[in-house]
Amino acid sequence: MKTQILFIGKEFRINDAFTEYVRRQTLRHVDSIHAATYLDDNDKNLFLYISKAIEEYRNLLIVTTPLSYPATGKIVATLFEDNLVAKENFLVPSKAHKVEPNSFAISKDATTINVLRTEPGQTLPSILLEIPSESTYFYIFGLEKERIVESIYPIAKSYDVGLILTQETPEMYKLFAYQKKFGDLAMFVQNAKLMLPQNLVVARNIFEYIIERFSALHRTVTFAESCTGGLLASMLTKVPGSSNIFHGSLVTYANEMKSAWLGVKEDTLRTFGAVSEETVEEMLRGALKVADADYAIAISGIAGPGGATPTKPVGTVVVGCRSKEEEIIRTMHFRGDRNYIQYQAAMYGVRLLFEVGKEDLF
């Protein structure tokens, strides 16, 4: 189901935080966003853009400002050979099948168009696109791509299900499964879980899944982050319900903070360095002690572009996870720019959490 977001208004071009908010809310209603286009309020090609998008996409979300909405509303009505009427205190096409304050949806053949009137700093109006029932997401842990393809793809073929596979971090993959014309998605999901019971979870957002599982089991988690600068904590706390399992964590960027806050020995830092398995082991123990949590993840590395040494190039990151009974620490070598290395490192901490906490998470 192809979806496009069409932003109409100059300020949307420069307000990344608000447009990301729109994207997040949209992804609650559609399986993926295929394109996002930005147009000015009075773009002379506005009619052409909208008519072309209606032909190409199954879902079209048009986000307008109060300034750009009148022209956009008229164009949509014209394309549907319709006129505008007053509903919910604004003008909408009379053929709109759903109308809520500052939002209306209208359909043509297999395409649904949802137009929003909004502006930065305000709560987004209701998105009226339909939530698809013919697709789902998985996360697969602890397997290489070849093994996933060998085990899952034949099942998908037998149930006429399409797959899109991508790596989040080494040995952690995200899989999108969608039902084709004669497919049986439910049977595919059931058999995939039977095939990989200790490697696969059904979830769109892995942090939502962790929160749900740990909340039910009354488990808690904490983090000790260095080169990721609190990214892991940020990703977890973006999800409602995170307070049930997360009481806090420590960002110990400087060595002095690793010692003062986590109890990492100065001798360990001098002898092995901050980016070492020995240091991360002490970070894990300190984090568990400070937070009195069930699980801890610790990360220390070189995200770049500077800071490399002959033996520790940019992308060298030590990641560890510890419970009260088990501990795993690995030295990884990630590629990419600073932000992408940080992301992969944070997600590798999640990957290790699923290995250490397999009894609670699978």
Instruction: Let me know: does 247 contact 358? Beta carbons within 8 Å.
Output: no
Q: Which pLDDT value is given to residue 225?
A: 98
> What is the CATH number for 152?
3.30.70.2860
Residues 199 and 236 in one domain: no
Asked whether residue 126 is assigned to any structural domain, the reply reads no
Which single residue is written with the structure tokens 């399986």? Answer: 31
How many CA atoms lie less than 13 Å away from 94 in the CB half-sphere? 5
Pair 307, 294 in one domain: yes
Tell me, yes or no, whether 148 and 77 share the same domain.
Answer: no
Residues 228 and 344 in one domain: yes
Residue that is last in its domain, among 204, 232, 263: 204
Q: Which among 298, 362, 350 has a CA at the least distance from the CA of 173?
A: 350
Last residue of a domain, one of 165, 188, 204: 204
**Are residues 148 and 49 located together in one domain of the fold?**
no
Determine, yes or no, domain membership for 128: no
**Total count of domains within the chain:** 3
* 92 contacts 74 by C-beta, under 8 angstroms: no
Residue 213, domain member (yes or no): yes
Does residue 151 form part of some domain?
yes
Q: φ, ψ for residue 168 (rounded to 5)? A: -85, -40
For residues 64 and 102, what is the distance between their CA atoms, to the nearest angstrom? Answer: 10
235 to each of 117, 202, 231, how far by Cα in Å? 29, 19, 6
Whose CA is closest to 168, among 195, 192, 139, 197?
139
- Check residue 110 and give its pLDDT: 83
Provide the residue-wise pLDDT of the chain in tens; the chain has 362 residues. Answer: 689 999 999 999 999 999 999 999 999 999 899 999 999 998 999 999 999 999 999 999 999 999 999 999 999 999 999 999 999 999 999 999 999 999 999 998 889 999 999 999 999 999 999 866 689 999 999 999 999 999 999 999 999 999 999 999 999 999 999 999 999 999 999 999 999 999 999 999 999 999 999 999 999 999 999 999 999 999 999 999 999 999 999 999 999 999 999 999 999 999 999 999 999 999 999 999 999 999 999 999 999 999 999 999 999 999 999 999 999 999 999 999 999 999 999 999 999 999 999 999 99
Question: Quick one: 169 and 265 in the same domain?
Answer: no
- CATH number of the domain that residue 101 is part of: 3.40.980.10
**Furthest C-alpha separation in the chain:** 77
Question: Whole-angstrom Cα distance, residue 316 to residue 75?
Answer: 53
Assess whether the previous peptide bond of 305 is cis (omega < 30° from 0). Answer: yes
Residue 104 in contact with residue 97, Cβ under 8 Å?
A: no
- Structure pTM? 0.92
Residues 349 and 254 occupy one common structural domain: yes
CA dist 137 and 174 (Å) reads 7
- Among the candidates 70, 86, 117, a domain finishes at 117
The whole-angstrom separation of Cα 12 and Cα 6 is 10
Tell me, what CATH number does 245's domain have? 3.90.950.20
Q: Domain span at residue 89?
A: 3-117
Residues 99 and 156 both lie in one domain: no
- 110 plus 144 within the same structural domain: no
Domain assignment present for 122: no
Q: Examine the domain organization and report whether 228 and 341 are in the same domain.
A: yes
Q: Is residue 159 part of a domain?
A: yes
Tell me: do 221 and 323 sit in the same domain.
yes
In a domain, 123, yes or no: no
Query: Is 46 within 8 Å of 72 (Cβ atoms)?
Result: yes
164 and 198 housed in the same domain: yes
Question: Is 344 domain-assigned?
Answer: yes
CB 232 within 8 A of CB 283: no
Closest CA to 188 of 173, 176, 198: 176
